[in-house]
Chain A
Amino acid sequence: MERFEYASPKSRKEAVGLLGSEWGHTEVIAGGTDLVGAMKDYAVTPKRVVSLKHISDLRGVRVRSGELHIGSMTTLRELMDDHAVKQNYPAVYEAVEEIHGEQIRNMATVGGSLLQRPRCWYYRLGYGLLAELDGKSLVSEGDNRYHAILGNSGPAKFVSPSTLAPVLIALNAEVALDGPRGVRRIALEKLYTTPTEPGQREHTLRPNEILTEVIVPHAAGVRSAMYELRQKEELDWPLSTAAVALELSGGTVRHARIVLGHVAPVPWVSPEASQALEGKTISEETADAAGQAAVRNATPLSMNGYKVQLARVAVKRAILKARGV
């Protein structure tokens, strides 16, 4: 990695003051499980690294007026161990359970998990997030077995790497972002964006902001679940995930929120899948119909057609899991 200056502020304000107004010069480090690797690969080359480790009020899980407030520096292990999370947000627990291994869970943070950079191999080899070379899309013309099947019509064809984000988006979570002009609170879904130009990032966090908190609404009566498909049992990236949050009335799905992971440059909210399920009772058939709806507009690349099937199955299985046996 390149030489950098390391700053360890004690407060949010101090941290924000250490950030720059453009991407590239400064990076924020939380658990470091992604950033350090990206720096070693020279995929990012910050001149200054700002650690959030010593800002004490960024860590911990609290329930306030029915909402779950998760500090961005809470580790995944702490999130998993929290009683309220396990009790009321089973899908969140399940998502962390799918993130391997224990060393990662002990170091990685909730904020870092939401803002980790894509695993696209062209990006990590130094060809940039859009992976273009001499005007060609390396992903389209090269090996795209792990790339996007949805939302891939632009130059960005990587997949959003977070296992946690789709679950929290399904639960209508919001995030608090601290910047020089104070705090703004946005839907987590809006944190993500698909870059269209080199130099753009895949999230809407501004270069001089830090993510401080995730707020998950009260989820009583919501049945949530997530399902992850990956090839290896452990220590492997998902090929497709699906998170669902369902409100049932009687046996009927009154409201459904369905979000897919690892299939698009952003966590992929699927109103088509929700629509297919709403008003129905959950069965193998209705769950599969929702899965089919989720991938109806998929545009697979030359080598990743199989991911369409995997996404469809992930959605189906997440719905059936949320229903319970």
Chain B
Amino acid sequence: MPECKYDWPAAADRHLIGTRISRVDGPAKSSGRAKYTLDINLPGMLFGKMVTCPYAHAKVTSVDTSAAEKMPGVRAVQVIQGPGKEIQWAGDEVVQVVADTEEQAEDAVRAVKVQYEQLPFLVNEAELSKAQSADRAAKPSATTQGDPEKVFNDPDMVVSDGEYGIPVIVHCCLEPHGHVVQWTGPQNIRSYSSSQGVSVYPAQFAEALNIPASNVQTICNYIGGGFGSKFSIDRWGVSTAQLAKQTGKPVKYLLQRSHEVEVAGCRPSGFARIKVAAKKDGTLMAWESDCWGTGGPAPSRGLELPYVLRDIPNYVSRFTSVGANIGPARAWRAPNHPQQALLTMSALDDLAAKLNMDPVEFFSKNADLAPQNLGKVYREELQKAAELAEWSKYWHPRGDKTPGHIKRGLGVSIHTWGGRGHASNCQLTIEPDGSVTAELGSQDLGTGTRTVIAIVAADTLGLPVEGVTVRIGDSHYPYDGPSGGSTTVGGVSSSTRRAAVDARDQLFAAVAPAIGVTADQLVAVGGRIQAKGDSSKSLTWKQACQKLGMKKIQTHGKNPGPCPNLISSGVGGAQIADVSVDTETGMIKVNRMTAAQDCGLIIDLKTAESQVYGALIMGIGYALFEEKIMDNVTGRMLNPNMEFYKLAGIGDIGELKVHMMTGPGYDERGVVGLGEPPVISPGAAISNAVANALGVRVPSLPLSPDKVLAAIQKGGMA
């Protein structure tokens, strides 16, 4: 490959990239100085509240807002879904009220009279036959390759079959969805929005409000969780802006917790009957799956099985989409992958057990069935994870045979993700006084985006991290893609690197005469601009910038751009769960989670590891606790709160061991996204560990005590 101007520095020349650096906004966040959308309070601001539908499926027959309109403090009432509208899930928005105080708005919500005609509904889909008899199941789609039936009938094959499932869960962002909207002119608005895409919100507001997109400014400096659920201004964004216009005041509307978990994000479910066959040496030969799931009332695009090991020579994979009157599906961190991993890796782990084979060996053996030549990566990661998890010491064939009611087990899973950087624009400025700013219309989801931008710019300019001020979270900065698909780190690091290289080279040109060498003989290192190999010929950063006189340097870096090898796509990842199960109570304790994860060149090792820690914790949550519990009688969500919508707490997570794959074979791939991949495997790894401990499979997540005890009883252990 020809040398490229924008390449990453060689390992020896990286002074910040790849080291452990604390997030630059850590002090602001931990001291409370960081302002989230929920913290924005503007003078004269009004508060919005929502009337929501209590029925899973209903038609609005009448709306009477007259009493609410007369209540103290009420400034405006807007019907969102009036008579004739058909509502598809409980919690859907019907009327919005704004008032001087939140309490007045809530009182007014209670005074709105809405009548509904209730319609038949379906809110649980675990039993496909019920969905079919309610006519809510679509025709199955199927993909096939080879002749699986022939393989299953081959007497030399080892065949395993089972049923597996993973329910609908919700995002449960700690900061709910919502906005504070202010009209700054007759055709201009500013929105403070809890958003994963500040650069794409203006167009959404503009279209809904019929104003020019250039008149809209969206600001989100900090976000309290999005996980894929905050790409749209949503219906409440439109109505909040309309009510702000109508009242002439800024309006704040953020969803209350119950509304947030009822409607602001569902991860689709997946249930499957799966049959797999391998040769006696463990070579995977055939796959057959009948899968179904729901992503809300609309048809879902379906789960793709088998997962990762897609090149099984013979397979048939069917999917049935079920329409259910739950909230609408939204992308949940690595959309569809956690479900696909749970279903696939459980079935394959059961097959490995039937083969009397160590699953780490089994997955290593079949790793070349993965696309993108990731086989080698998987083998290295499986080996590393096994070493860190002390696999050879703690793993045993199915069923912990030690006496007593506490059974320990280990389980493994692998995953994959793309993560190519999105479109990104970085404007980098070097002022004559030496200050440096990088401006991007990006946002930091808590992943470390601000920090990564600062590191790339500072590393390029030979400055400490504090030498660069990063400005993001505002749509007035240059366009940047929404943070979804683990695309942010690739996008912003590429655009920032390009902008910083150009700026550095302009500075070199400006100061070369003063230093007495040509510009191509200069390097920026340790806060100085100096001649290569001769530190006596140098200027401090400040002295160098003073040579600019009155003229600042301003550059614009773009992703994608030339030198595409700054970033790439496609990661693996292996995880091992170590659990103890109390067979008397069905309670599971996670002892340890181990993750070996690649993501190409790592900019900040510390925030990279933190992302994996967070993903493991989130994964333990959905493996053991999380479920959107829908009531067949009332059609409502029964746990729209954080009391019974259970998330993992500090005591539930055990020890977390994270190893990032770096060095030769990894770094030269350039930067690849990381936010999503590590959350894919925990469910499968934990389910497999429980099966290893007990000797029987608990077929579906969450692995709650009722299901664990039922599996033990069914398995004849009780």
Contact = CB atoms under 8 A, between A and B. Distances in A.
B709 A306 contact: yes
Q: Determine the interface band of chain A, counting residues with CB < 8 A from chain B.
A: 20 to 34
Interface string A296-316: 000000011110011001000
A306 B706 contact: yes
Contacts of B646: 231-232, 236
Given A232-B652, A234-B652, 10 more contacts: A42-B110, A133-B633, A142-B633, A143-B631, A145-B706, A229-B585, A231-B705, A233-B651, A239-B705, A310-B585
Interface string B617-632: 0000000110001011
B652 A306 contact: no
Nearest to A126: B54
Contact of A233 (B638, B649, B704): B649
Interface string A114-132: 0000010110110100000
Given A121-B639, A142-B632, A229 B650 contact: no
Nearest to A317: B584
A124 B706 CA distance: 23
B710 interface: yes
Contacts of B648: 232
A16 to B, nearest CB: 30
B587 interface: yes
A231 B641 CA distance: 17
B586 interface: yes
Tell me if A's interface is mostly helix, strand, loop or mixed. Answer: loop
A143 B638 contact: yes
A297 to B, nearest CB: 20
Given A231-B646, A235-B649, A310 B705 contact: yes
A2 B111 CA distance: 11
A232 B638 contact: no
A92 B651 CA distance: 23
B633 A234 contact: no
Interface of A: 2-3, 42, 119, 121-122, 124-125, 127, 133, 136, 138, 141-143, 145-146, 229, 231-237, 239, 303-306, 309-310, 313
Interface string B438-456: 0000000000000000000
Tell me if B's interface is mostly helix, strand, loop or mixed. Answer: loop
B115 interface: no
Contact of A119 (B585, B634, B636, B643): B643
Contact of A234 (B629, B639, B649): B649
Given A232-B625, A232-B651, A125 B706 contact: no
Interface of B: 107, 110, 584-587, 624-625, 629, 631-634, 636, 638-639, 641, 643-644, 646, 648-652, 704-706, 709-710
B651 A141 contact: no
B585 A309 contact: yes
B644 A142 contact: no
Contacts of A237: 643-644
A141 B633 contact: yes
A231 B589 CA distance: 9
Contact of B634 (A133, A303, A305): A133
Contacts of A233: 649-652
Contacts of A309: 584-586, 709
Contacts of A146: 644
A119 B643 CA distance: 9
A303 B638 CA distance: 15
A290 B634 CA distance: 39
A231 B587 contact: yes
B633 A136 contact: yes
Given A231-B587, A232-B625, A310-B705, A125 B649 contact: no
B644 A121 contact: yes
A125 B651 contact: no
B643 A231 contact: no
Contact of B651 (A127, A234, A304): A234
A122 B584 CA distance: 29
A119 B633 CA distance: 19
A313 B712 CA distance: 15
A48 B168 CA distance: 41
A142 B123 CA distance: 12
A133 B634 CA distance: 9
A141 B584 CA distance: 28
A124 B638 CA distance: 9
Contact of B586 (A42, A133, A306): A306
Contacts of A231: 587, 624-625, 646, 704-705
A142 B709 contact: no
A122 B640 CA distance: 12
Interface centre among B584, B636, B643 (most CB of A within 10 A): B584
A231 B647 CA distance: 11
A40 B629 CA distance: 21
A162 B433 CA distance: 66
Nearest to A309: B709
Nearest to A237: B643
Given A125-B638, A234-B649, A306 B644 contact: no
A305 B718 CA distance: 14
A136 B631 CA distance: 14
Contact of B650 (A133, A136, A234, A313): A234
A122 B587 CA distance: 26
Contacts of B639: 121
A125 B90 CA distance: 13
A89 B586 CA distance: 30
A308 to B, nearest CB: 10
A144 to B, nearest CB: 10
A143 B704 CA distance: 15
B584 A313 contact: yes
A146 B644 CA distance: 10
20 contacts: A119-B644, A127-B634, A136-B633, A138-B631, A141-B633, A142-B631, A142-B633, A143-B631, A145-B706, A146-B644, A229-B585, A231-B625, A232-B648, A233-B652, A234-B651, A237-B644, A304-B706, A306-B706, A306-B710, A309-B584
Interface centre among A42, A136, A235, A237 (most CB of B within 10 A): A235
B42 to A, nearest CB: 25
Contact of B705 (A3, A136, A303, A306): A306
Interface centre among B634, B639, B648, B650 (most CB of A within 10 A): B634
Contacts of A145: 706
Interface centre among B625, B649, B706 (most CB of A within 10 A): B706
A42 B638 CA distance: 16
Interface centre among A121, A136, A304 (most CB of B within 10 A): A121
A313 B644 CA distance: 23
A133 B631 CA distance: 13
A125 B652 contact: no
Contacts of B636: 125
Nearest to A310: B585
